[in-house]
């Protein structure tokens, strides 16, 4: 219900709030979460929204009202989660490369923590001994994910404690009698292949006997969602079935119950988002016709940073003849959103909408070229709420100290 944002809604929102504009349909987030609840055993599965994908406080509150937990990548995200009303026991901090004092703060907050280095684990053991349960982020040496930049489990990845250092890891745990409550492996983003998750489950299967107090096995996030036309995402129903089998095998072998944790980011919020831009200039050229829009990688960097593909639609001229365009921004850098892209004929002033703009869109934005960050709007049951104002000129000077 209402989980797809119509072109009419987008056109009206552009008129009301101006462009460029991020629009998030909360009902789509609800629908995605429901899909997870249907596919997995609610009794032994917990989902933590990887909120680095989209941290607007109203989105966090919406996710909380669904009953979903939250996964944080920094202590500030954990503080935002608390501000959004999440209880500490429903917050997970999966740290990487952080200073130990952030872990101390996390302990003070009483949230769940996954530790990702032997160095921090040692400091943790020295300070807390057996008094505070923690998870361990393991690096399994699995190559998975959409491309190298979003792969985190391979042997050159900085993430996690390398599996081959198991002896050293166990020695530290023993020395300080650390309470290891869970294991975590996140192999990357845009993982379509269910077998990747099952490989991780196999690794857990072998590791479990080393950690007698373990309660949860955290398979991370990274479910793929369709970005291109006709693309298919991770088969969530199949994953649910396979995970159930894996858990049964674990329970049968080790005679105890395990919780399975997941940390979906994109899966929950990618498709809910639309990014509305307007065409400033058309430029004909031997190589391409450039459609220059009023945005750039300061607002949506995924295409330039990861070669990510976003569907783009001309909602002002949906029946116009299809032609090919290079869609570029207005930043003094090469900021090509798409090359040779078939679009309904583009005219100056037309609205071009980027689909799948909910995850890692606004969140990775900046004020580069001293341009304003876009406004954000949340749609809920058809009603529109402004959830972040567009920047104004003073925002560019905020925190600058102007010497006289």
CA 265 to chain centre: 3
CB nearer to ligand PLP: pick between 263 and 350:
263
Minimum distance between the CB of residue 52 and ligand PLP, rounded to whole angstroms?
Answer: 6
Q: Residue of minimal CB distance from ligand PLP?
A: 265
245 Ramachandran zone, left/alpha/beta (phi>0; psi -120 to 50) = alpha
Please identify, among the stretches 31-39, 216-224, 350-358, 385-393, the one whose residues bind ligand PLP according to the rule CB under 6 A: 216-224
Q: Dihedral of CA 305/307/311/315: which sign?
A: positive
Does 94 help bind ligand PLP (rule: CB under 6 A)?
yes
Q: Per-residue x/- mask for ligand PLP, residues 239 to 268, rule CB under 6 A?
A: ------------------------xxxxx-
- Give phi and psi for 161, each to the nearest 5: -95, 120
- Give phi and psi for 288, each to the nearest 5: -170, 160
Position among 140, 160, 221, 374 found at the interface with ligand PLP (CB under 6 A): 221
Say whether 261 sits in a helix, a strand or coil. strand
| CA separation for the pair 157, 160 (Å, rounded) | 8
CB nearer to ligand PLP: pick between 53 and 375:
53
Minimum distance between the CB of residue 92 and ligand PLP, rounded to whole angstroms?
Answer: 9
How far CA 43 is from CA of 194, 201, 326, in Å, comes to 21, 18, 49
CB nearer to ligand PLP: pick between 122 and 186:
186
CB nearer to ligand PLP: pick between 79 and 282:
79
Minimum distance between the CB of residue 137 and ligand PLP, rounded to whole angstroms?
Answer: 7
CB nearer to ligand PLP: pick between 9 and 73:
73
Does 157 help bind ligand PLP (rule: CB under 6 A)?
no
| CA separation for the pair 387, 232 (Å, rounded) | 31
Residues contacting residue 385 through CB under 8 Å, at least 6 positions apart: 58, 377, 378, 379
- Dihedral over alpha carbons 194, 157, 111, 376 (to 10 degrees): -80
**Total binding residues for ligand PLP by CB under 6 A?**
18
- What does the angle CA 116 – CA 121 – CA 125 come to, to the nearest 5 degrees? 155
CB nearer to ligand PLP: pick between 265 and 292:
265
Q: Is 332 a catalytic residue?
A: yes
Give Rg (Cα) of the chain. 23
Q: Per-residue x/- mask for ligand PLP, residues 345 to 384, rule CB under 6 A?
A: --------------x-------------------------
| CA separation for the pair 69, 81 (Å, rounded) | 9
| CA separation for the pair 354, 311 (Å, rounded) | 6
Does 20 help bind ligand PLP (rule: CB under 6 A)?
no
| CA separation for the pair 238, 35 (Å, rounded) | 12
| CA separation for the pair 130, 94 (Å, rounded) | 20
Minimum distance between the CB of residue 358 and ligand PLP, rounded to whole angstroms?
Answer: 10
Minimum distance between the CB of residue 395 and ligand PLP, rounded to whole angstroms?
Answer: 27
Q: Which of 51, 68, 72, 332 is catalytic?
A: 332
Q: Which of residues 66-85 bind ligand PLP (CB under 6 A)?
A: 71, 73
Minimum distance between the CB of residue 146 and ligand PLP, rounded to whole angstroms?
Answer: 9
Q: Which of residues 185-204 bind ligand PLP (CB under 6 A)?
A: 186, 189
How far CA 79 is from CA of 61, 76, 111, in Å, comes to 13, 5, 10
Does 182 help bind ligand PLP (rule: CB under 6 A)?
no
Q: Tokens 């081959």 — which residue? A: 164
Please identify, among the stretches 2-10, 198-206, 219-227, 394-402, the one whose residues bind ligand PLP according to the rule CB under 6 A: 219-227
Q: Which of residues 37-56 bind ligand PLP (CB under 6 A)?
A: 50, 52-53
Q: Per-residue x/- mask for ligand PLP, residues 113 to 142, rule CB under 6 A?
A: ------------------------------
DSSP states of 279-301: EEEEEE-SS-EEEEES--TTT--
Contact of 204 with 170, CB cutoff 8 Å: no
Binding positions for ligand PLP, rule: CB under 6 A: 50, 52-53, 71, 73, 94, 186, 189, 220-223, 263-267, 359
List the catalytic residues.
Answer: 332
């Amino acid at each position: 219900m209402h989980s797809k944002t119509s072109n009419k809604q987008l056109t009206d929102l552009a008129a009301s709030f101006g462009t460029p504009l991020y629009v998030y349909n909360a009902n789509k987030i609800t629908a995605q979460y429901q899909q997870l609840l249907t596919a997995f055993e609610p009794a032994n599965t917990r989902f933590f929204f990887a909120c680095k994908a989209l941290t607007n406080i109203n989105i966090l509150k919406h996710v909380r009202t669904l009953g979903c937990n939250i996964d944080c990548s920094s202590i500030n995200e954990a503080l935002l989660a608390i501000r959004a009303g999440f209880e500490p026991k429903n917050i997970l901090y999966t740290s990487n490369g952080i200073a130990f004092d952030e872990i101390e703060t996390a302990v003070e907050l009483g949230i769940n923590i996954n530790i990702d280095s032997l160095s921090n684990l040692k400091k943790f053991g020295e300070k807390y001994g057996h008094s505070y349960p923690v998870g361990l982020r393991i690096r399994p040496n699995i190559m998975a994910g959409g491309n190298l930049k979003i792969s985190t489990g391979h042997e050159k990845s900085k993430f996690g404690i390398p599996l081959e250092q198991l002896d050293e890891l166990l020695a530290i745990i023993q020395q300080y009698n650390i309470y290891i409550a869970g294991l975590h492996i996140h192999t990357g983003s845009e993982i379509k292949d269910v077998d990747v998750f099952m490989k991780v489950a196999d690794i857990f299967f072998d590791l479990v006997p080393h950690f007698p107090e373990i309660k949860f096995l955290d398979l991370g996030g990274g479910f793929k969602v369709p970005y291109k036309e006709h693309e298919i995402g991770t088969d969530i129903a199949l994953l649910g079935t396979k995970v159930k089998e894996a858990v049964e095998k674990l329970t049968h072998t080790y005679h105890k119950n395990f919780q399975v944790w997941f940390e979906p980011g994109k899966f929950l919020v990618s498709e809910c988002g639309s990014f509305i831009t307007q065409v400033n200039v058309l430029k004909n050229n031997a190589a391409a016709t450039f459609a220059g829009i009023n945005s750039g990688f300061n607002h949506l960097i995924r295409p330039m940073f990861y070669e990510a593909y976003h569907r783009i639609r001309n909602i002002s001229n949906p029946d116009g003849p299809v032609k090919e365009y290079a869609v570029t921004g207005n930043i003094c850098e090469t900021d090509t959103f798409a090359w040779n892209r078939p679009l309904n004929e583009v005219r100056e002033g037309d609205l071009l909408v980027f689909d799948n703009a909910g995850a890692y869109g606004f969140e990775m934005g900046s004020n580069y070229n001293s341009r304003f960050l876009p406004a954000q709007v949340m749609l809920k049951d058809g009603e529109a709420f402004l959830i972040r104002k567009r920047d104004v000129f003073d925002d560019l000077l905020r925190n600058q100290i102007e010497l006289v």
